Amino acid sequence: MNSFKGGTYPPKYKKTSEIAIEEIPLPKIAVVPLLQHVGSPSKPVVKAGDIVKTGQLIAEITGLISARIHSPISGKVLVIEKRLHPFGIGIESIIIESDEKDERVEFHPKDITKLFPNEIIDIIKNTGIVGLGGAGFPTHTKLWPPKDRKIDSVILNGCECEPYVTCDYRVMSEETEKVINGLKLMMKILDVHNGYIAIGIKNKDLIEKLKDKDIKTISMGSKYPQGAERQLIKTVLNRKIPYGKLPMDVGCIVHNVQTAKAVYEAVYEGKPLYERVITVAGSVKEPGNYKVRIGTPVSEIIDYCGGLIGDVKKIILGGPMMGLTQFSLDVPVIKGTVGIVALTEKENKIYESTNCIKCGKCINACPEELIPTAISWFVESGKYYELANYNPLGCTECGSCEYECPSKIHLVQNIRTAKKLMKTLKY
């Protein structure tokens, strides 16, 4: 099988992979940020005091790249104000108090056979679906590539190369039909005949289950970052995306498996995106895979899981390789949250960084063939004019280099600084 260059092998910790998805009770108060996707923030269409139902539109698209937001619960809009967002900053959010009835708006499924691709895309756009793998790129934009790009393959990404995270694997095992049909819908929209599902955890039963005459199921190696778009395409199709290009430039589109499931539910059931499956793992009493409403505060989820155990030092939204640390448990789950990982000091050793010994481990680990230690050194030593020669903008921040570094240099942090410097100083 093809593989990508570089990468590393962090421990997997996927103990939750065989724990079935469990639904978490509705939150008492849902905090729905107006920015849950890549692009411009949405504009609220409700105001304080309004009564909303589950699945009702509460924020509308603004600009070219944006997504609609729907109410995750039924109840009353308390206020629209700045609240803490997983990005660590305050972002305008709609605060909804639950009436605990969970009244839903009426969903209107349509006869799929009579729909044109652009009508299906409209449904996806109206139901506010964004990529559920983490980044949150609006799905309808991705499914409507410019005319001059010839798309020939769709890949569903079920790799989950991040340690701890198992939610996509559970969705594939439990809602196989929805995932497959969601993929078929995407293939129909794009008029392509090559559909692939890439799975990370090797499981014969799952591969058997996912068997379909139109779709190829590929079991991936355990290398990190296998689930990164560029590396996934290199592995599945053996196509290398040049720096600065997108997957559609090589005729390919990648979606997360949960996105495919959401597309299926939107089109066949008329259900907007207001809930998702996340993994709660690490030092919590009952780790597992949970179906949660968007906007549920992390503290309520952790309470439902029996609370934290031990001296937890870090709460991470997402996986431990690329996730964001939180200083408060009041942050809500957003569309792009794949998991909550609680790490104690033992699992998350804090090292002091020392001099680079030029071992070359970061260079060998970088999937984008950069020289992380050089970029890091130029940032630390203030030689910003050198940065342009080492292409820091090519970094996907996967963290392989820093994981491998024996000197424990903060490579990713320095490269992020380099990226910002490149953009602001225009070297």
Partner 1 sequence: MRFIISSSPHIKSEETTSKIMFSVFFALIPAGIWGVYKFGIYSLFIILASVLSCVLFEYISQKYIFKTKINISDGSAVLTGLLMAYCLPPSIKLWQICIGSFFAIILSKESFGGIGFNIFNPALIGRTMLWILFPSDMLGVQIDGITQATPLGLLKGNTAVQVSTYLNLFIGNVPGSIGEISKLLLILGALYLFWRKIISWHLPIAYILTVFILSVIFGQDPVLQILSGGLILGAFFMANDYTTSPVFTKGKIVFGFGCGLLTFLIRKFSSFPEGVCYAILIMNLSVPVLDGFNFKNEVLHTKINIRKYVYIFFILTGIYLIAFNFPACRGINLKKSSDKSGIFKEVLPVASDFREQNDCIKGLDENKKIAGYILKIQFDGYSGKVNAVVGVDKEFKITGLKIVEQNETPGLGSKMTEKDFLNQFLGKSHEKILLTSDGGEIDAVTSATVSSRAITDAVREGINDLKKKIE
Binding site for partner 1 (CB under 8 A): 8, 10-11, 88, 163, 308, 312-316, 320-329, 341, 343, 347-351, 354-361, 363, 371, 373-374, 377-378, 383, 386, 389, 397, 399, 402-408, 410, 412-413, 416
Non-local (6+) Cβ contacts of 385 within 8 A are 427
Nearer to partner 1, 64 or 89 (CB): 89
Nearer to partner 1, 67 or 312 (CB): 312
Task: Write out the two tokens for 312.
Answer: 């937890």
Nearer to partner 1, 79 or 425 (CB): 425
Nearer to partner 1, 156 or 362 (CB): 362
Instruction: Return d(Cα 192, Cα 184) in angstroms, integer.
Output: 9
Angle at 255 between CA 119 and CA 137, to 5 degrees: 75
Nearer to partner 1, 168 or 347 (CB): 347
Q: Which of 393, 395, 385 is nearest to 427 (CA)?
A: 385
Q: Which of 47, 48, 44, 96 is nearest to 73 (CA)?
A: 96
Q: Give me the helices (H) in 33-137, please.
A: 117-126
Sheet holding 69-70, edge to edge: 43-44, 57-60, 69-70
Provide the 8-state DSSP code for 107: P
Nearer to partner 1, 171 or 409 (CB): 409
Instruction: Return d(Cα 376, Cα 414) in angstroms, integer.
Output: 5
How remote is the C-alpha of 158 from its chain's centroid?
A: 11
Report in angstroms how near the CB of residue 254 gets to partner 1 at its nearest: 21
Task: Write out the two tokens for 186.
Answer: 């995407």
Rounded to 10 deg, the angle between the 372-381 and 411-425 helix axes is 70
Report in angstroms how near the CB of residue 132 gets to partner 1 at its nearest: 19
Nearer to partner 1, 61 or 334 (CB): 334
Report in angstroms how near the CB of residue 95 gets to partner 1 at its nearest: 23
Q: Give me the helices (H) in 191-309, please.
A: 204-209, 229-237, 257-264, 298-304
Report in angstroms how near the CB of residue 357 gets to partner 1 at its nearest: 5
Report in angstroms how near the CB of residue 403 gets to partner 1 at its nearest: 5
Contact 227, 200 (CB under 8 A): yes
Report in angstroms how near the CB of residue 415 gets to partner 1 at its nearest: 10
Q: What are phi and psi of 343, to 5 degrees?
A: -115, 135
- Annotate 121-150 with DSSP letters as a single string: HHHHHHTT-B-TTSS--BHHHHTS--TT--
Nearer to partner 1, 50 or 380 (CB): 380
Report in angstroms how near the CB of residue 11 gets to partner 1 at its nearest: 8
Instruction: Return d(Cα 169, Cα 210) in angstroms, integer.
Output: 12
Report in angstroms how near the CB of residue 18 gets to partner 1 at its nearest: 22
Nearer to partner 1, 23 or 327 (CB): 327
Report in angstroms how near the CB of residue 318 gets to partner 1 at its nearest: 8
Report in angstroms how near the CB of residue 135 gets to partner 1 at its nearest: 14
How remote is the C-alpha of 156 from its chain's centroid?
A: 13
Rounded to 10 deg, the angle between the 257-264 and 167-174 helix axes is 40
Nearer to partner 1, 112 or 374 (CB): 374
